[in-house]
Amino acid sequence: MPDAHVRIPVEAKDRLAAIAAAEGLSLRAYLARLAETLLTPAERAERAATALAALKTWNGYALTSAQQQDLDNELDRRLARVTGW
């Protein structure tokens, strides 16, 4: 498999290398594993839609768009509070 070259700041590379080493992996192996485990936005949306459909079938759970937006806003507010964003 051919390698790819990615330009990132040296600080980011060093941080990723340290994380990889702490897990007993090379940077290459760590990035390959990371790429395999992260979801694309489309994959996340598909999983969310599947989960909502399952909830609706199981117990009738079905939010309106406004309710979903209210919950998203509340989650954003709570995340901002704990992360300081």
Mean pLDDT value of segment 23-39: 96
Q: Is the pLDDT of residue 19 over 80?
A: yes
State the DSSP code for 42.
Answer: H
Name the band, by pLDDT with cuts 50, 70 and 90, for residue 46.
very high
What six digits make up the tokens of 72?
């998203």
Residue 63 Cα distances to 11, 18, 54, 59, angstroms: 43, 43, 13, 12
Tens of pLDDT, residues 54-85: 999 999 888 888 998 999 999 999 999 999 87
Mean pLDDT value of segment 11-16: 97
Q: Tell me what percent of the residues of the chain surpass a pLDDT of 70.
A: 100
